[in-house]
Amino acid sequence: MKLFGLKSLFKKFLLTLAIIMVLGLVSSVFILGTKTGRDHLLNLVGRISASENFSLDLHNLDLGKTWSLEYLTLNDAQGTWLELRQVHLTPRFLPLLRGRIHFDQVGIKHIALHRLPGSDNPTSSSSSPALYLPPVTILHLDLQHIVLNEAALGQRAELGIQGNLSMDTSMAQGALDVVHFHRPQDHLTLRGNFHPKKQQLKLDLKGHEDPGGLIAHIMGLDGELNINLQGHGPLTAWPVTLDLGLADLAEAKARGTLHLDTRSQQIEIQGNIKLGKIGLGYLPLPDPEIYFSGHGSMFTDKILAQAQIKTAAVMLDVNATWTQATQNLQAFFQARSGDLSTLLPPEIVAGVTTINGKIFLDAHQAEIVSKVLASDWMIQDMSLETLEAQARIVKPFKDSSWQSQLAFSTIGPDLGQGLGQWNGTLDMGGHDDVVHVHQGLIESEALSLNMTGSFGQALESTATLMAQNLKINDQIYSGQVRSQFKGHVYLQEQTLDGQLQVQTKDITGLPPAVEQILGSPLALSSKFQVTPELITIHDFTLEPNLSLKAHAEIKPQDQSFAAKFSATMPKIDIEPAHLAAGTTLEGEAQGSFSSFDLDLKGQLPGLKVQNFHLGPTTLTTTIKDLPSSPQSALAMQTSINQEPLSLDLAAKTQKNTLTLSKARATLPQAVLDLEGNLSLDNFLFNGQSRFTSSDLASLGHIVSLPLSGSLS
């Protein structure tokens, strides 16, 4: 009795639920059949889809026999980027009850892509779940007017698209035609069908674009574009051909076969690419033909791939294996050089080079290992007999860190004494935007360089250069130069602030005059700031013997600069000259690196050269149009062997000739004037000279001769 009561109650519940569902369905249809109800639905959709950088606006939805929408817009933070107007869909309702989507016609009168959306548009999220696609049939597709504005793709284009699509369990087929309204010669057609039971696929894609078209503009090409892709046959051995013409960039032809069955899938492909004028500009091969072939097999547990690329310059072989269970990739490659003449500067003559390598990838890290062997290279008439190098790069996936090691050895007998054999190692790593040089060493018998550093927004490096019996132009040098650099990059301001210090130790082999002027150990320090508009060098000092201070500003955009410096010279004793300590120079230079002016002021306490004694001296000089055609004006006041002397000079240098437009030396009771040309090759003077002296005694005092009388 109780059981009968429960069944009766359950039947009443189901009947009530059915009545509620019917009433809800009828109410929904009634509501959507009114303008107010449809507007509420559109507002609800808009609110659900709205976010900070994405919103969807729909207006005037009509769900009658033909579904229509007046317009739809997609918006981001900058405004509307996609607009659809006059959308019409003619559905068949009975197939919907069977789980099929069927439209007799899909038409959109106007589509406008104003620009590309923001990169953080939520519609592009990679985490979207996969969707079930029911059978779809579209008997006629008509996109009447598509406008791609210049802001979207760089060139305005107006297109029209027509086609049809039908998919079910027995067959899928479709057709698509794309035309350009203002360029009727540009077109793209796609035809295809697939029979699942027969496992037959037919595909035919053809396209053509005259010079100056949309695709050429996007690719940066200037010429005619063509594409022809065809395939027809069973999936167990499906043949495919591709002919592609990309204006003056390249022409490609490929033939292949796809083997697709339940046990494995395989692909075989071969073809060639012929580079055009633009392509050879990017890759100047001696022969424009590039040949390629490949084979791939995909099984349930692994994927195997093999490829080969042949050019006149290089041949590359690659073999790779992907293991599904362990999620790892192993790839081996070998590259062998051919004719590299068109890829290298004329001063480099290539020999034989082979590169072998391995790529390993798993769930934890990626690793690349390579080995280079080269022989018989010539670089600026210097032979490189052998080069052997090994490199390794490791990138863990758990964070942003990476590590790399490099080791090499080379033999070049023409490099000079003590420089014929080199060895080097480099141990680097990094994380985020920082690169660490843990150890860098390059060394030969006579020269070595060792460095460490860290390079990111904060910069720091230390380098030591050591020479041991280094022979340059028959002179032997030894010693150590150590540099330290610290700096910081301010990304927002595009500014680099830095400080450099250089010190020497145990330097031998320098000319005596240089040793006395510079002193030892030499210390240099400077601070600088670099921006795109200005390079500033300040607090530049050089010590110990020569005390030099400088400040400079350089404008990279127009290659102009302005600089100031001051220097104090030490005592210099180099027979037969002896310079007293305390000589000072002050100078200013400004202009461009191709033409600048220099102003100098100097004071010299005393100079002795054999029997000539130069007393306290002051000089000023201005030199214009350096370095190509300098024009100089010099004024000097001094005494020689206690006789006052003044010198005024105006000169211009062109090529190897010094032209004196004015040269006057004045002594007590004596004047010497010179005008003419002085050859800087043989120091022969061609010109006029005038000497007048009312008393030769002062001249005799200078040359230590008992002279008297007058001379003109």
Least confident window among 147-161, 181-195, 339-353, 378-392: 147-161
Percent of the chain with pLDDT over 70: 88
Percent of the chain with pLDDT over 90: 51
Q: Residue holding tokens 């007017």?
A: 145
Give the pLDDT band (50/70/90) at residue 23.
very low
Give the pLDDT confidence score for residue 490 in this predicted structure: 96
User: What CA–CA distance (Å, rounded) separates 480 from 484?
Assistant: 13
Structural element, H or E, at residue 267? strand 265-275
Q: What are the tokens at 467?
A: 């020479």
**pTM for this model (two decimals):** 0.66
Beta bridge partners of 479: 467
Give the pLDDT confidence score for residue 134 in this predicted structure: 62
Q: What are the tokens at 204?
A: 């035919």
Least confident window among 10-24, 238-252, 693-707: 10-24
Least confident window among 73-87, 421-435, 449-463, 665-679: 73-87
User: What CA–CA distance (Å, rounded) separates 210 from 187?
Assistant: 10
Residues in CB range of 142: below 8 A, 6 or more apart: 105, 106, 107, 108, 161, 162
Give the pLDDT band (50/70/90) at residue 648.
very high
Least confident window among 7-11, 176-180, 276-280, 533-537: 7-11
User: What CA–CA distance (Å, rounded) separates 606 from 248?
Assistant: 73
Give the pLDDT band (50/70/90) at residue 160.
confident
Q: What are the tokens at 593?
A: 């690196």
Residue type, 339: D
Give the pLDDT confidence score for residue 550 in this predicted structure: 96
Q: What are the tokens at 234?
A: 């069973």
Give the pLDDT band (50/70/90) at residue 628.
confident
Give the pLDDT confidence score for residue 31 in this predicted structure: 41
SS3 state of residue 519 = coil
Give the pLDDT confidence score for residue 116 in this predicted structure: 79
pLDDT above 50: residue 461:
yes
Residues in CB range of 56: below 8 A, 6 or more apart: 45, 46, 49, 50, 72, 73, 74, 75
Exposed e or buried b per residue across 202-223, where buried means at least 16 C-beta atoms within 10 angstroms of its C-beta: eeebebbbeeebbbbbeeebeb
Structural element, H or E, at residue 662? strand 657-667
Per DSSP, helices labelled H in 235-353 are 277-282
CA dihedral in degrees (109, 111, 112, 113; nearest 10)?
Answer: -170
- CB burial of residue 628 (10 Å; 0-12, 13-18, 19+): exposed
Q: How far is CA 77 from CA 55, 81, 441, 576, in A?
A: 9, 10, 52, 81
User: What CA–CA distance (Å, rounded) separates 156 from 213?
Assistant: 10
Least confident window among 33-37, 80-84, 493-497, 598-602: 33-37
User: What CA–CA distance (Å, rounded) separates 322 from 300?
Assistant: 11
pLDDT above 50: residue 10:
no
